[in-house]
Amino acid sequence: MPYDYDKCVAVVTGGSSGIGLATVRLLLESGARVAFCARNESRLNEVAAVLKRDFGDDTVLTQAFSVLDRDAVQGFADLVHQTWGRCDLLVNNAGQGRISTFEDTTDDDWRAEYELKLFSQVLPVRVFLPMLREAGGAIVAVNSLLAYQPEPHMVCTSSARAGVQNLLKSLSVELAPEVRVNSVLLGLIGSGQWTRRFAEREDQSVSRAEWYGALAEKKGIPLGRLGEAEEAAHAIAFLGSRAASYITGAQLEVSGGLSRHI
């Protein structure tokens, strides 16, 4: 087993694709039972069917909803409690970035982005907290290097992500000693938006490795490539595991060295 999640229950938001899905799979391989959500029900069901085949029917629990729907998030926590009676790890991963400069970001865009970034943390933490406290559990938030290294073409995402890091630091103090709170700061991971952009590339003859390699060079990533979803999942699984039992309020960068701050 990659990590020790024996007898543990983990919850992953946005588990039907990319980093969330890689995390769900790694946690299952590590012995956890995993509950996860996403909005698109058919994709969620497809993914759940594969995982149940690989790991067993009683190891996977899914529900389709948006993490911004307060009642649905509460309903999901109730379902996890009724089914498994505990929650040892909450991974707040659901979301996406918004590409816009200050000049083309409207007031509604700002509100939507702040709502997504902040409430995708606030709502799940609030409803899973009683179970996390009881289990002596952990929260891992999936955040971005943009929190510290803002990009002008992602102005509102960068700003909202900085707010999330600040919130997580407060949580790590308020929820201690029962619950640990950590985050991963991602650079460019070859999932989500990058998979979609690769699919839409101008020259369709260019391979994934070539396209990602050129992108890494343009962005100045020292390791010379984009990260894989599985590499982000390892950082998440480690921070949530007993191996990280003395780590709270920390941020782990998964960026191939893209970070320039020390």
Name the nearest CA neighbour of 160 among 207, 224, 115.
Answer: 115
Specify the residue, 67 or 125, whose C-beta has the smaller distance to ligand NDP. Answer: 67
Report if residue 124 touches ligand NDP, rule: CB under 6 A.
Answer: no
Would you give the binding string for ligand NDP spanning residues 166-195, x where CB under 6 A is met? --------------------x-xx-xx-x-
73 is a site residue for ligand NDP (CB under 6 A): no
Q: Which of 3, 16, 80, 135 binds ligand NDP (CB under 6 A)?
A: 16
- Dist. CA 158–CA 38, nearest whole Å: 23
Piece of the chain touching ligand NDP by CB under 6 A; list 2-10, 62-70, 129-137, 212-220 = 62-70
**Structure token pair of residue 90:** 């909450």
Find the helix or strand (DSSP H, E) in which 10 lies. strand 9-13
State the Cα–Cα distance between residues 91 and 194, nearest whole angstrom. Answer: 21
**How many chain residues bind ligand NDP (CB under 6 A)?**
30
Contact (CB, 8 A) for 92 and 183? no
Name the helix (H) or strand (E) containing 185: strand 180-186
Smallest distance, ligand NDP to C-beta of residue 238, A:
17
H or E segment and range at residue 84: helix 70-84
CA distance 16 to 41: 9
Regarding 17 and contact with ligand NDP (CB under 6 A), the answer is yes
Q: Does 38 bind ligand NDP (CB under 6 A)?
A: yes
Instruction: Quote the DSSP letter at residue 180.
Output: E
Smallest distance from ligand NDP to CB 98, Å: 9
Interaction of residue 19 with ligand NDP, rule CB under 6 A: yes
Stretch in the footprint of ligand NDP (CB under 6 A) among 16-24, 53-61, 98-106, 206-214: 16-24
Identity of the residue numbered 74? Q
User: Bridge partners of 33?
Assistant: 9
Q: Which of 39, 86, 126, 225 binds ligand NDP (CB under 6 A)?
A: 39
| Residue 228 neighbours by CB distance under 10 Å | 16
Contacts with ligand NDP by CB under 6 A lie at: 13-20, 37-40, 43, 66-68, 93-97, 142, 144, 186, 188-189, 191-192, 194, 229
